[in-house]
Amino acid sequence: MDNAALEQLVKPRIEKVVVNCSVGEGGAKLEKAMKIIESLVGQKPEVRKAKKTIRGFGIHRGEPIAIRATLRKQAAVDFLRKALAAVNNRIKSSSIDKDGNFSFGIKEHLDIPGTRYNPELGIVGMDVTVHLSKPGYRVWKRAYRPSKVGKRQRVSKDETLEFLKSLGVEVIEE
């Protein structure tokens, strides 16, 4: 196998994109956020419950307070392009971790191109987390015969920066 073919095999790809919207309370506000996220990502998000009680915030253990949607394959790529456009294709370098994953926040869902304001639903913000991987990385997570993964199969911060540049994203040093 020549070097060009080998480079193609070890290029990072988008494993998944997770969209998280923390409302802080259940009820009507959470339902409105669910409708907004569902219209943005094209699938029904799951409800997340509080892990512990925080009296200062009025949150009780087991109370639904957030929603999350996990996108994979082409749906993840499509949503990521729109979400990056919402932040003007700019990401802070501190948003990238050592394993090659990166996250960014969107203050208002109206910043995403093609989104219309609905006064009945209001405005919500969200966090977008992107997990990059290379082919063969799932070996350590599989149920049957999991195994360790070598350093070549892990995505480094440098590879993530290169991947973001290929998407046309500017990484801001801070």
Length of the chain: 174
**Which element (helix H / strand E) includes 32?**
helix 28-41
Dihedral sign for Cα 151, 97, 69, 17, please.
Answer: negative
pLDDT greater than 80 at residue 15 = yes
Cα dihedral angle (96, 69, 24, 95), rounded to 10 degrees? 10
pLDDT digits (tens, 9 = 90+) for 94-136: 888 888 888 888 888 777 888 888 788 878 888 889 998 887 7
Is residue 107 in some structural domain?
Answer: yes
Three-state DSSP state, 1: coil
Is residue 143 in some structural domain?
Answer: yes
The average pLDDT across 139-145 equals 79
Per cent of the chain over pLDDT 70 is 94
Cβ burial 102-122 (10 Å sphere, 16+ → b, else e): bbbebeebebbeeeeeeeeee
Task: Tell me how far apart the alpha carbons of residues 79 and 33 are, in angstroms, rounded to a whole number.
Answer: 17
pLDDT digits (tens, 9 = 90+) for 46-104: 888 888 787 887 777 888 888 889 999 888 888 888 888 888 888 888 888 888 888 88
Is residue 166 in some structural domain?
Answer: yes
Q: Which residues contact 43 (CB under 8 A, 6 or more apart)?
A: 69, 71, 75
| 23 against 73, higher pLDDT | 73
Dihedral sign for Cα 120, 123, 127, 131, please.
Answer: positive
pLDDT greater than 70 at residue 9 = no
The CATH number of whichever domain residue 96 belongs to comes to 3.30.1440.10
**Which element (helix H / strand E) includes 66?**
strand 64-71
| 22 against 137, higher pLDDT | 22
Q: Which domain holds residue 119?
A: 12-172
Is residue 45 in some structural domain?
Answer: yes
| 71 against 152, higher pLDDT | 71
Is residue 6 in some structural domain?
Answer: no
Task: Tell me how far apart the alpha carbons of residues 110 and 23 are, in angstroms, rounded to a whole number.
Answer: 16
Is residue 52 in some structural domain?
Answer: yes
Is residue 4 in some structural domain?
Answer: no
Is residue 106 in some structural domain?
Answer: yes
> How many structural domains compose the chain?
1
Q: Please tell me the predicted confidence (pLDDT) of residue 120.
A: 80
Task: Tell me how far apart the alpha carbons of residues 95 and 21 are, in angstroms, rounded to a whole number.
Answer: 18
